Structure 1
């Protein structure tokens, strides 16, 4: 008779305490790991496009630095617009009839530079005389330079010789003349630049408007004293 205490072939050996021995292998087949994804190599860059991008970036940086420098200069110097005023205006040889006008105006315009550090260079200066908003005559004033904290008078002469003028304007001027006082408007357009030593700011256009400058019909002299003008 076979000894029952010997283990049966083909069955796992049990420990004396009745537990099965630990497994000696995996119960399932080994799964292969997921392979790494494939990333294709980037295409080669065009050297011309790289150069263009670098050039644009350099230009942008240059303008930013240049603009910052100009802004700092503006903060330090603080340019202020000049002041204009009409000191005197005279009218002579006035005659208006049949839509034809003859007249001569002579004006003295006071120009003041309020800047402490900047002097002003005036290029082309054009001045005009109006009756209300109707242009009568214009003249040119020569270039000039104005130092810091300085004032000076600029002369301007306007003339009309047998010039055609709208009939309504002629009627209004004759009516004012009969009333004893005539009013005119003066306009100045100036091309100027602020300067500080060797530094010169960009040129800009200045508009000056002097309205309702009155002269007497009898003597043609300006009434009411100097008159301040609007500058913009």
Structure 2
């Protein structure tokens, strides 16, 4: 006789509440495979915040530069800064001698400086002036600092000298040749540390370069010929 309390082989066992048994879980999640054979997960990876921050920083910098440029443009429109004007009023040469590559000479120049600005004064710091024969350096001197008001002009003096100084033979020959022709030409250069001022405001300092070329003096008297000569300023 068969024992009715034993389960019949081949039939699923039901629990006491007549519910199908819950399939076992292992607690692990498995990656699915995409069509290219690479595994991927259903949860998207977290986004990197750095690109967003960088974009915002670049936008902020661009906005700042635009605003700053607009302010500078408005200031320029209001003040309209212009470079000063330079001209050689006089140049004299005395005690000149050149032989055996030794030169003695004294130059005295009067340089007129004009400030064309209506609202800006100009402050001159260190000013250095040099004299050349063509592009050959001969001597230099320093001019003291000064301040020039709006729409004003004034003259500054500069003296250069050579005392038994060595000069390249080709330059000596060229100067003597010019002297025998009755007229000698020299170039003057000025480098100045300047700043524009408006009331209590002062702009950043910059270097101003002045070039006065072919300033002629007579060989007999050593006086400048042709009247005042305008210089290039940049």
Does TM-score exceed 0.5, indicating one fold? yes
| Counterpart for residue 180 of structure 2 | 178
| Counterpart for residue 102 of structure 1 | 104
> Unaligned regions of 5+ residues in structure 2, if any?
1-40
Task: Quote the Cα distance in structure 2 between the aligned partners of 1:93 and 1:188.
Answer: 24
Change (3 A) 1:39 1:93: farther
Q: RMSD of aligned C-alpha atoms?
A: 2.1
Q: Aligned ranges for residues 21-170 of structure 1 at < 5 Å?
A: 40-41=43-44, 43=46, 45-46=48-49, 54-170=56-172
Residue 62 of structure 1, CA deviation: 2.5
Task: Quote the Cα distance in structure 1 between the aligned partners of 2:145 and 2:46.
Answer: 63
Aligned residues: 194
Task: Quote the Cα distance in structure 1 between the aligned partners of 2:42 and 2:196.
Answer: 62
Change (3 A) 1:43 1:108: same
Residue 205 of structure 1, CA deviation: 2.1
| Counterpart for residue 216 of structure 1 | 218
Normalising by the residue count of structure 2, what TM-score does the alignment of the two structures yield? 0.75
Task: Quote the Cα distance in structure 2 between the aligned partners of 1:39 and 1:200.
Answer: 64
Normalising by the residue count of structure 1, what TM-score does the alignment of the two structures yield? 0.76
